[in-house]
Chain A
Amino acid sequence: DGGITQSPKYLFRKEGQNVTLSCEQNLNHDAMYWYRQDPGQGLRLIYYSQIVNDFQKGDIAEGYSVSREKKESFPLTVTSAQKNPTAFYLCASSRPRQGGLTGELFFGEGSRLTVL
């Protein structure tokens, strides 16, 4: 079945450690996105990529890094510089509408990161 796969579903990390969250899609979508979800905060955009080897910062990019070496994959690294990394992380992909405008987002089931 086509879809977005995020792994791991749950992850625990000690302070000071970097951690990488995986996101893979087989929908042949060009654009991919990372959002962070905190209670009462909605979904906040971390990074997004419209095409391979290119990505843009979202509203809360500090302390995070991404790469887009393959169309299917958009991993997110939460670095030790992220002050409050405990959160639920959602990856999404979309086929842009005409003119490169964002279309419907298809989300994965998320990764819950807890920093101990």
Chain B
Amino acid sequence: GENVEQHPSTLSVQEGDSAVIKCTYSDSASNYFPWYKQELGKGPQLIIDIRSNVGEKKDQRIAVTLNKTAKHFSLHITETQPEDSAVYFCAGPNQAGTALIFGKGTTLSVSS
């Protein structure tokens, strides 16, 4: 089945800097890669996703890149703000494509 590994587990940046979180996946048939943000005491929320037919997708300050050959995808946050502080999870579909398997999460801290 799918295995998703996420790095780093913690990331601290200064406000205005960029942050990059990387995930690798094992199943070469996987075709859908979302990123979720979880704020303290809440459930995760989808912030961006990418399908395997594109290499990059942007939405304002966040972007996701996909390298199918290397089987990794990354979340890029530019001009970070304190409200970006949260836990971020990458995910990939299980073998049947019917559920998501999540990485272990990255705790991002943005200090002002």
Contacts and interface: CB of A to CB of B under 8 A. Distances in A.
- Of B6, B42, B98, chain A has the most CB atoms within 10 Å of the CB of B98
Interface string B1-41: 10000100100000000000000000000001010100001
B44 A43 contact: yes
Contacts of B41: 109
B84 to A, nearest CB: 19
A101 B89 contact: no
Contacts of B97: 99-102
Given A41-B104, A48-B99, A102-B98, A107 B44 contact: yes
Interface residues of B, number: 25
A92 B104 CA distance: 18
A50 interface: yes
Contact of B104 (A42, A50, A104, A108): A42
B12 to A, nearest CB: 17
Contacts of A92: 43
Nearest to B4: A42
Contact of B43 (A40, A45, A50, A90): A90
Nearest to A6: B43
A102 B104 contact: no
Interface of A: 4, 31, 33, 35, 40-45, 48, 50, 56, 58-59, 90, 92, 96-97, 99-102, 104-105, 107-110
22 contacts: A33-B99, A42-B89, A42-B105, A43-B44, A45-B94, A50-B98, A56-B98, A56-B99, A59-B1, A90-B43, A96-B98, A97-B32, A99-B97, A101-B32, A101-B93, A101-B97, A102-B97, A104-B49, A105-B36, A107-B45, A108-B43, A109-B41
